[in-house]
Structure 1
């Protein structure tokens, strides 16, 4: 009953009355969107409650339940009004402060200031119930009152929600429901009695509470229900109250949780949230031995990592509790998905923070969600159902590196990962060295970052294999490592001449570069652009090559590395008031448009703070000062230190909330960026990249190998081998290889034998051939295809 026995006010053209109940007009409301991704804080409890929350612009926005990948509301904000025409929606003001009781403690204090009032909020989850509690205190002169305004997005969308104001055992509750999800917003005064003074439901943009204030300067509409559609709920509160937002399988279940959470002192719940998180930080000893100025940021990053883990699926972590450019889209996915790459990058940071059990949960989760062919989905819902279907070779390799890292830390805890590792390596061997998508999920070909991760996985994964397989895998790793420059480096290019550098790495090389280096002149498409003419591969550069140094495949003073550093500094470095940052690659289109409009499938790429972290790791290895890169990552963060995905680097655009050197409208926080911050901070203490695999460093120490065996396969049809190398031909099924020398002289047949992780191999005795000689071969499995490999000079 919207007015609790009083008169129902109706807008012009209002709906009908049905047995004393009023249906709000304006079905289905305006098309829904999410809220801004500009978060002040994110959090959860360390108790059994399955609820996560975010705070942005000084109010609660997305709340996730019962899993960290299902947002259930758009926002829960406040209007302050006197009922006589004055009203102010606090989220639209800029004069507010937000704080927490300590670094990395997700209990949030907000103070909104206005010339006529101050609105103080304290926000904390109940550790034992699926309920978020908000303490509200309004001060100011006149007949002011706070009004709570709730926008449900149950099941991850604003479409098809139903809202209702109803009485539950004598208490008024604001409820919404859609499918298996329901929420209830209850309120209590200082005596724990029902605090709602009046309440109503409506359709967003037509009959919701905000529209009521915009038209009448007061709350005059008190409809009992609305829906299905994009709905909202509003209720008037006393100046001091506690709100409880509960979630359940139905309205009554959600109301029971919300009301029970109110029948306890708010202060007790607040203190328990603070105590539990302080104890967790103390147990992990996150900041031990780190530079003092970074202690608080490390504690915050540790909390961000922990708070993005699910409780139904331990070990699953979403990429961000936000939706990039959320106020322009109703995308159900956002970044509330599991990317294996982000997950393993986060696991590495957790290991360095002493959170070994959390890292073990991640490897367990990865074992459980590995696909039959040995890979992982590009991204997936927490239960393992794939969302996007792209194949990214680095995402197959990263779980192998996590297994190796757990082994290095002696932290496996009895987990058996050999089968997982073997199946992942088998996929890498069959599909590599080219990937269908790079780490930015856009471009096929041979990419230095992906190749570095894949080679590292082969080397580290070999340690999990039987001795009979280990040597063959290491031979392939050496072969790929030795080809990096042949596949991914160019010299005497237009870019090199313009910027006065020599040979340098490219962003990505088309796969056919394996057999023909002229492929480096092929046009490679640029994604996310309004008009995409593409660019030749030789003219596309990125920071991805830094992974070669970080993982110990190349030395920091390698001339190719130095030249590439000079080139990306000239082309991708962005000077901002917060410090230097780097864009991903030339021609990137993933970011706001130049006029500040949100990314909408096209745009202009902006600088990424995590790339400053990657550059800091290079600086550490190059014996340069790496601390400034950490300071930049801290300086570009949000109000309480959350690190964004991207930073605005254009002219100030205050109307769009875009300021140079500050977070853009992309995801914030980006968990991967917080993991990178932690790793760089710990790497400073250890004086080496802490995620550099030890086995890779011991094998290569930054030096290019000279493999004794070359490999050829239909996916890796090399055109040359070095004098002195044997040639191993790989095939997925048994076959007989016919081969000869210099136009089929001395022709013979060699059957394949099982080997190399399920492939079939034929070893040709080519080590005695001289430069200029040609090996010819064919197979019935390749009808009409005759292959040849030329012997070239051995390296000096």
Structure 2
């Protein structure tokens, strides 16, 4: 609908009478499927289409055979997805109440409505819109057995002239372009149709006697001849155009004040009509009962499977149930185990793009599968692991994101996304819940990819910069440790050796000292957000290199040493560092100075200083550039640190719940500036970013479960047992052609790791005692030559070059200096809560 004008207009009676007379003079639709082209509505092709706001009240689906997902926002139906969770098929389905004499009101603009679930944890809802002249009650539920969304309507008023009208904006095939809309008589029943091959929808209705309930109806082009424009210009329904399209189209129909609507989807409009009418041939309460029965059984099963019963304090119980429902709702049915990032379009009301959030990110997917596992959703977590095994690339990684069927969308490589599926396999194995899945081959290929590509990643978890990142390093180290249990012999040992080496060098690679930020916060050093890849060879001097900041119109850059994030908290969460390590605490001081925002909802944190992903300063939607806002997700990550530091995490849980919509949807970002009421932006409340962000709901669930356990639910058991918050001495130092270190601790063995077979010719302290060492297969897709450098003292050097098996030389000599043996870090108490 055109959202640029007010939704409540009163016209002078004379204008209304004239409009009604004009309406009665128009030709009526004949009883056939294809109306005469001369009846087509004017104004083709309509204004450029947009989606609706990302501010969802609730989301839902059935657990039955129906392949349909729906969202509600502003008290009406927003996007409906079919037949997969990544394909929105309408913009919205809303209502107008009017008296035919000039008064009319679009209910979604009233803002005075209440919403409740028909039963706890059941995505079927009752909405009550209150107005001085009427009350509109809606009950909304998917039909568990059919691809149909059912809406029961009840308009209550003491004014007999008030009538109810439905407005429907199809966006078939996930776009507002190229849709066709038709008002038709089909087998004696009036139906609203829309189609855009190969998709179609049908809207049918019945009254209290199950009789056809669609009255006057019209199709039109949005912004020109749609039903909303009819009311805006004429104060009544005066148009009855039989058809519109192709273009950005909309449909309107008059309804009885008590009726049930059925919005059906199919591969043809006849198929969609059959489903819609079939669904209407039963009491609406039957649909509700079936929906409630299925969901209550699912929650009960999860509760029975949950190894650690969840003790939910106070008012957080309902948010916990809502979050579990949100996670389950986002799972697809055609591809079991696959899950999109959000059933919303961020800043959707500013464009036609459906947004990248209707894609699968392996990181988000595993984070969410872990939350499902946390409250007993073992079957769903196993499906996710199966899906990930099926979509792994030959090289061993996963795509940055992908369509549900596995086809890549963005093709960046993020090492944490390669590591997370390994962690999911380990989490299931720890609970003896693999259910016959054999993940060894997946693990081997994933760890091999990480080894051959790391420790620098092409993209960090925010998909913006290459380099060494603490979140990515922590996740990959954890994958090496947990994954080694699935591997036989040498491959497992090499994985552990790499884990120890990376873990021992995190501070050398990612800590800045003596900077202005350090002096301002009165700390000696802190973890940076991203260290350039050159830090491996050039040391901390590389932290003076400039890092580009994405999503900024000014092309801003910062020195690596000047940009910080909360990513280092993953080191504590996974058991690699103690929460009491002074460097961790110093880094928190810097982060809280730069990224923490106190809001009425509680403290929340931005991703990093200089972030550009969010609304502009004046509240305009993000359009490729903007200003980064705080993320409730990051509050949850801070809560996991607080838990290990011995603090009460209830305040953080309450903060996350307080940022949610009235229906419990936790947003991606919240507003952090003065209110801009016309844009619905208020301090600590959701912005136009994704809502719900499924990952944020997963974080809330895991934090609450972790509170009961006393440690992070997703902390890998093997990682904690190996490190307990302190790195262990690395027996080996690794040099790679793509990751060339310049020094190694005296007493360690130097490993020359190669992507293919070769021989390392090497000598000591000026090419003395030259020898050759063959690089052997490791079982992880690379070859390794172990140089016997353990007897080289501090200051000694190892020089080497490489001859490949085909006889070619690498074309350069290399030198590694043996430095003082490093003391292990972990100056705290050994890792906090066990």
TM-score with structure 2 setting the length: 0.93
Q: Is the Cα contact below 8 Å between 1:722 and 1:795 reproduced in 2?
A: yes
**Aligned counterpart, 2:488:** 466
- Return the match for 1:456 from 478, 481, 506: 478
Give the 5 Å matches for 1:481-560: 481-517=503-539, 518-560=541-583
Shift in alpha-carbon separation, 1:235–1:762, aligned structure 2, 3 A: same
Runs of 4+ in 1 over 3 A off after TM superposition: 6-10, 17-21, 780-784
Measured in 1, the distance between the counterparts of 2:689 and 2:218 equals: 34
| 2:290 equivalent among 272, 296, 319 | 272
Question: What's 1:359 paired with?
Answer: 381
SS in 2 for 1:137: strand
Match of 2:279 in 1: 261
200, 214, 231: which one aligns with 1:182: 200
**Deviation of the 1:38 alpha carbon:** 0.3
Question: 1:150 aligned to 2:172?
Answer: no
Of residues 806, 822, 826, the one that matches 1:795 is 822
Q: Which residue of 2 aligns with 1:46?
A: 63
Q: Which residue of 2 aligns with 1:13?
A: none
Q: In 2, distance between residues paired with 1:150 and 1:101?
A: 24
Question: SS of the residue aligned with 1:119?
Answer: strand
Q: 218, 223, 231: which is aligned to 2:249?
A: 231
Q: In the alignment, which residue of structure 2 is the partner of 1:128?
A: 145
Structure 2 residue runs of 5 or longer lacking an equivalent are: 1-19, 28-33, 824-834
Does residue 658 of structure 2 align to residue 640 of structure 1? Answer: no
2:713 aligned residue (690, 695, 699)? 690
Deviation at 1:783, TM superposition (A): 4.1
The answer to whether the 8 Å contact 1:609/1:644 transfers is yes
Alignment check: 8 A CA contact 1:21 1:223 kept = no
Instruction: Summarize the Cα distance change of 1:19–1:505 in structure 2 as closer, same or farther, 3 Å threshold.
Output: closer
- 1:112 equivalent in alignment to 2:92: no
Return the offset for 1:20. 8.2
Q: Check whether the contact 2:346–2:355 (CA below 8 A) recurs between aligned residues.
A: no
Hey, what's the Cα distance between the residues in 2 that align with 1:385 and 1:670? 23
- SS at 1:380's partner residue? coil
Deviations 1:558-613 (A, max 9, x none): 11100001111111000101100000001011011111100000011111001111
Structure 1 residue 75 corresponds to structure 2 residue 92: yes
Shift of 1:115: 1.4
Query: Is 1:765 the equivalent of 2:788?
Result: yes
3-state SS in 1 of match to 2:534: helix
Contact 1:502 1:563 in 2 (8 A): yes
Partner of 2:31: none
Aligned to 2:640: 617
User: Counterpart in 2 of 1:88?
Assistant: 105
Indicate if the aligned counterparts of 1:347 and 1:358 stay in contact, CA closer than 8 A. Answer: yes
| Structure 2: distance between partners of 1:430 and 1:634 | 41
1:101-500 alignment runs, 5 A limit: 101-142=118-159, 143-285=161-303, 288-500=310-522
Correspondence for 1:628: 651
> Could you tell me how far apart the structure 2 residues matched to 1:617 and 1:733 are?
41
- TM-aligned CA deviation for residue 290 of structure 1: 3.2
Q: 1:327 to 1:8 in 2, by over 3 A?
A: farther
Any idea what SS the aligned residue of 1:359 has? helix
Of stretches 366-375 and 778-787 in structure 1, the one that deviates more from structure 2 is: 778-787
CA contact (8 A) 1:61 1:76 kept: yes
Deviations 1:615-655 (A, max 9, x none): 00000100111111001000111011110000111101110
User: Is contact 1:613-1:633 (8 Å) kept?
Assistant: yes
- The 1:19/1:602 distance shift into structure 2, 3 A limit, reads closer
Aligned-residue offset at 1:18: 7.0
Q: Does 2:81 align with 1:64?
A: yes
Shift of 1:736: 2.1
Matches of 1:18 and 1:182 in 2, distance apart? Answer: 17
Q: 1:277 deviation in Å?
A: 1.6
Deviation at 1:116, TM superposition (A): 1.2
1:165 counterpart SS class? strand
2:741 aligned with 1:723, yes or no? no
After superposition, the Cα gap between the structure-2 partners of 1:756 and 1:493, relative to the gap in structure 1 and judged at 3 Å, is farther
**CA distance in structure 2 between the aligned counterparts of 1:576 and 1:149, rounded to whole angstroms:** 38
Instruction: Report how far residue 334 of structure 1 moved.
Output: 3.6
2:593 alignment partner in structure 1: 570
Shift of the alpha carbon at 1:471? 1.2
- 1 CA distance for matches of 2:678 and 2:36? 47
Displacement after TM superposition at 1:509 (Å):
0.2
- 2:691 corresponding residue in structure 1: 668
Equivalent in the alignment of 1:755: 778
Q: Counterpart of 1:310 in 2: which secondary structure?
A: coil
Aligned-residue offset at 1:708: 1.2
Residue 122 of structure 1 aligns to a residue whose secondary structure is: strand
Distance (Å, rounded) in 1 between the aligned partners of 2:429 and 2:504: 27
SS of residue paired to 2:315: helix
Instruction: Write out per-residue CA displacement over residues 310-344 of structure 1, whole angstroms, 9 at most, x where no aligned residue.
Output: 11111011111001111012113441111100110
- The CA deviation string for residues 32-53 of structure 1, in whole angstroms up to 9 with x for no partner, is 1110000000000111110000
Per-residue deviation, 1:89: 0.7
Query: Would the aligned equivalents of 1:294 and 1:681 in 2 still touch at CA under 8 Å?
Result: no
| Distance (Å, rounded) in 1 between the aligned partners of 2:96 and 2:105 | 5
Q: CA deviation at 1:139?
A: 1.4
- Contact 2:146–2:279 (8 Å) recurs in 1: yes
Q: Secondary structure at the match of 2:404?
A: coil
Query: Hey, what's the Cα distance between the residues in 1 that align with 2:442 and 2:152?
Result: 48
Distance 2:197 2:484 in 1: 48
**RMSD of the alignment, in Å?**
1.6
1:703-737, CA deviations, whole angstroms, 9 ceiling, x for partnerless residues? 12111111100122111000101101011111122
Question: 1:374 & 1:329 partners in 2: Cα distance?
Answer: 36
Distance 1:550 1:376 in 2: 24
Counterpart in the other structure of 1:30:
47
**Residues 131 and 784 from structure 1, CA distance in 2 versus in 1: closer, same or farther, beyond 3 angstroms?**
same
Distance 1:241 1:101 in 2: 19
User: Tell me, what secondary structure is at the counterpart of 2:634?
Assistant: helix
User: Partners in 1 of 2:58 and 2:690 — Cα distance?
Assistant: 13
Cα 1:18–1:148 change in 2 (3 A) is closer
Query: Could you tell me how far apart the structure 2 residues matched to 1:693 and 1:20 are?
Result: 65
| Cα distance in 2 for residues equivalent to 1:756 and 1:729 | 15
For the structure 1 residues 42 and 668, does the alpha-carbon distance in structure 2 shift closer, same or farther, using more than 3 Å as the test?
Answer: same
5+ residue gaps, structure 1, are 11-16
Alpha-carbon distance, 1:7 to partner? 5.1
Following superposition of structure 1 onto structure 2, how do residues 586-625 of structure 1 map, counting pairs within 5 Å?
586-625=609-648
Mapped to 1, the partners of 2:253 and 2:556 lie a distance apart of 54
In 1, Cα distance between the equivalents of 2:232 and 2:81? 30
In structure 2, C-alpha distance between the alignment counterparts of 1:170 and 1:743, rounded to whole Å: 95
Q: Deviations over 1:98-146 (max 9, x none)?
A: 1112332211111111111111111000000000000111112331111
Count of matched residue positions in the alignment of Structure 1 and Structure 2: 787
